Structure 1
Amino acid sequence: MSAAAGLDFAGLDLASIPDRIQTEVQRAIQRSIKGVEYFSSSGPSLGSTPKDILSVRGTMNLYHYRPMSDEIYRVPILIVMATTNRGYILDLVPGQSFIEFLLKRGYDVYMLDWSAPKPEEKRLAMEDYVLDFIPDCVRKVQADSGETDVTVIGYCFGGVLSLLYGSIFSDGPMKNLICFTTPIDFREMKLFQNFSDRRYFDVDHLVDSVGNVPPEMILSSFEMLRPASRAAGQVQLWENIWNDEFVKSYRMFDRWATDTLPLAGEYFRNITKDLMWDNKLYNGAMSVGGRAADISQIKVPILHAVAEHDHIVPYEAARHLIPKVGSADKEEVMLKGGHVSLVAGANAIKRLWPKLDSWLAGRST
C-alpha cells in the first residue's frame, strides 16, 4: 500500500493532512478575529445590581442593594469586603452575582466596600477600620432597616476585621457572623511570612517613606504565590478565545484580580507587626485602639467557609478560627474551590451560596 493511499510507517494518516491543515488554518483565523474583538471591546459591566449609596467617607463606602423579593428576612446583612480588593467580585453579572442571589432569596443586603485611600489618609490605622468604619456602618444599617440585629459577612481580611469588631463589641448588635476564607494563624501564611520577615523587611522605613502601600506591591505579593499563573491563564485564554463564555469569565475575574487597592500606611504597619510578626489574633493578645480583641468573646452563631484549594489563605492558617471563638452555635464548612472560586463563579453557585442560604435563613428571622 502506498503512503498516499493510507498510512506511512509511523502510522500517520497522510490522507487526512489537507483536512487537518485546513482546520488549523480556520482555527488560526478565528483566533485572530476573536483576538481583535477581545482587545477592541471593554468586557461585561460588573457590579450592576441596583443599589443606593448610604454613606461615603474617605475610603469607606456603604451601599444598600434594592430588594428583589416581596418578602424580606427581618435581619439585614452587612458584607465587609477585604481592604485590598473591590466588592464587585460578589456582584459580577446577572446570574453570577452573590448579591443578586441573596436579594432573590429574600435578604436585605448592605455592603461596606472600600476605595483607594488618599495620600492624606495614610495615617488610617486598624482602629479606624474596627472602631470607627464598621460600627458606623452597622449604625447606619440599623437606622435604614429599622432593625437592631445585623448579620455580618466578612470576606478574607474583611473577615479578620469582622472578627475584631465582634470580639470588641461582643454585646453589640451583631446577630450572626459569617467568614469566608479568613486567616487566624498568620504563621501559616507562608509566603507572606517570608515577604514580611522582620529580619529583612523594615516596615517602618517603607511606611514612613511612601505613606500608603502601593497596589503594585500588594498585587506582586499575591502573584508570587503562583508565579506562572498569569502566563498560564493567558495561554488558556488564547486556546479558548473563540469560546465567548470562557472569554467573558476570564475578563471578569482578571479585571477584579488586577484591580488591587493600596493600603493605608499605618494600617499596613499594624497588620505587619501585630498579625504577621506577633500573631496576636491567634495568641489572644490582640488589641485595637487600646481595647482587647479576643475572639473567644464572640458568642453569636458563626459559619466559616474555607476553600479546599486556597493558595492565598491555606487551611492551616484558617482552621483555628472555629475552635477559638466562644460561640456554642458554630460550624466550619470546607468546599471545593480556591480563594476566589469559593465565593464567585459556577463553583460558588453550586456549593457555597446554597449552603450559606440554608444556614442563614433560620437565623435571620
Structure 2
Amino acid sequence: MAAEPSPLDSDAIAQRVELEIERALKRNIKGLDLLIADREPVGTMPKTVIHREGTAVLYRYEPVLDEIYRVPLLIVSPPSNKGYIFDLAAGQSFVEFMLNRGYDVYNLDWNPPRRGEAGLGLADYVDRFLPDSFAAIQEITQETEVSLAGYCMGGTLATIYTALHPAAVRNLIAFATPIDFTHMKLFQAWADKRYFDVDLLVRELGVIPADVMLGAFDLSRPANRTAGRMTLWNNMWNDDYVKSYRMFDRWAAETLPVPGEYFREIITRLMWDNALAKNALEVGGRMVDLSGIACPLLNIVAQHDHIVSHEATQPLMHLTGSKDRHEIVSKGGHVSLVAGPAAVRRLWPHIDEWLGVRST
C-alpha cells in the first residue's frame, strides 16, 4: 500500500492546487480583458519634432537634468520599425535611462513612405536624412560632433554614414548591427537569388508592404508566434508580463513598409553581394570603406539573437580603423538590447559607463 502523505506534504499539495486554481481563474479573466483592451500606451517620455523631411522624423527628448553631457546622442531606428522601442515604458525605456544619466537624446524615426517615395535608396538615408538630422542637432546644440547609435538596420545605416562622414561622429554605438550578411543565414535562405525576384517585387509594388518584412521574421523562427502566445497564456495571471507582451506585440505588429529601392539595395548589394563587409559598397558615387571609421566604437551583441548573429557584426571589430573598440555580448535576444527591464540592470549601465567619459 502507498504511504499516506505527511501533513507537510498535504499542506504543500493543497497550496499548490490553490495557486493553480487562482492562476487559472486569472488567466480566463485576464484573457477576456485582453480581447477588449485598448492598445498599451508606449513612448511616454516628452519629446518634440525638430525636423521632418519626407519619411524621416527627428525627435528631441526633453532633458530631465540641469547638467547634461556636451556631446548629444542620436539614435537611428531601423527604417522598418518605429522608434518607440527605445522608449517602451517607464522602467524599461532606454531613452528614459539615458536622460536620467544626463544625455541629450535624439531619435531619427520613420513614417511609412508614400508611393512617390518608392525610389528612396541608401544614398537618401546616409547622404540626406542623416546629414540633415545632424545639421538640425548642431543648430540647437552648437556642437560639431554627435554620438551616433543605431539598432539593427539603423545601425547599418549609422555605420555607413560614419564611414562616409567620419568627422561628424564623435562615438559610434552599434546595437545588433548586421555588417557581414553572409552570416544572416535564415535571411539568406529567405532571399535566395535563385528564387527571389526582387526586381519584380519592386517593379510591381513600389513600396514594399510591411507583410513582406513580417514574413521574413516569421520564417526566421516559424514557431515563435505560436510559442509566444502559449507563453502568454501560461503567464496570463501575471499583470506585468501581460503588459510587456502587449507592448512588444504592438511594436512588432506596427512594422513599417519600406521604399522599394532601399529594399532592392539591401537585398542585392548587402545580402547577395555582401558589399559592405567587402568594402565594395558604393553610395552616392563614393565607396564605403570601413577602415575610415576612426571614432570610438562600441559593438553590442545579443547572445541569443536569432536575427543578427555575433558573426554578422564582427567586421566592426576587425575592419574598422578605430583604435578604441569595445564589444559587449549581453544575455537575451534581439530586442532585449534596447527594451525591457533586464537591460536596465545588465547592459545599459555599461553603455553609460563607456559613453559618459567620451561625451565631455
Please tell me the TM-score bracket, short chain as reference. Answer: over 0.9
- Equivalent-residue separation in structure 1 for 2:253 and 2:345 (angstroms): 26
Residue 210 of structure 1 pairs with residue 168 of structure 2: no
Does residue 195 of structure 2 align to residue 200 of structure 1? Answer: yes
Q: Which residue matches 2:72?
A: 76
Q: Distance in 1 between matches of 2:226 and 2:105?
A: 37
CA distances 1:11-30 after superposition (whole Å, capped 9, x unpaired)? xx999999987765554333
**Equivalent of 1:108, from 73, 90, 104?**
104
The equivalent residue for 1:187 is: 182
2:119, 2:262 within 8 Å by CA — same for their partners in 1? yes
- Alpha-carbon contact 1:343-1:352 (below 8 Å) kept: no
2:314 to 316, 319, 323: 319
The 5 Å alignment of 1:1-365 reads 6=4, 26-170=22-166, 172-365=167-360
Per the TM alignment, residue 153 of structure 1 is displaced from its structure 2 partner at its CA by 0.5
Report how many residues are paired. 357
Q: Give the TM-score, by structure 2 length.
A: 0.94
Superposition deviation, residue 334 in structure 1: 1.0
Q: Which runs of 5+ in 1 are unaligned?
A: 8-12
8 Å Cα contact 2:162/2:168 also seen in 1: no
Cα distance in structure 2, aligned partners of 1:166 and 1:32: 51
Contact 1:74 1:364 in 2 (8 A): yes
Structure 2: runs of 5 or more not aligned:
none
Q: Structure 1's 178 and 18: CA in aligned 2 closer, same or farther, altered over 3 A?
A: closer
Three-state SS of the structure 1 residue aligned to 2:149 is strand
The CA deviation string for residues 197-233 of structure 1, in whole angstroms up to 9 with x for no partner, is 1111111111001111110111111011111111111
CA distance in 1, matches of 2:196, 2:279: 25
User: What is the percentage of aligned positions where both structures have the same residue?
Assistant: 52
- Contact between 2:190 and 2:219, CA under 8 Å: does it hold in 1? no
In structure 2, distance between residues paired with 1:293 and 1:16: 65
Q: Matches of 1:129 and 1:32 in 2, distance apart?
A: 47
Tell me the amino acid that sits aligned with residue 222 of structure 1. Answer: F
Deviation for aligned residue 1:325: 0.5
TM-superposition CA deviations, 1:326-365 (whole Å, max 9, x none)? 0111111211111111221122111221011000001100
Structure 1 103/208 Cα, relative in aligned 2: closer, same or farther at 3 Å? same
User: Over residues 225-272 of structure 1, what are the superposed CA-to-partner deviations in whole Å (9 max), with x where a residue is unaligned?
Assistant: 111111111111111111101111111111112211111001111111
Contact 2:42–2:88 (Cα < 8 Å) also in 1: yes
Distance (whole Å) between structure 2 residues aligned to residue 14 and residue 179 of structure 1:
54
**Cα 1:126/1:14, change in 2 over 3 Å:** same
Letter in 2 for 1:119: R
SS where residue 282 of structure 1 aligns? coil
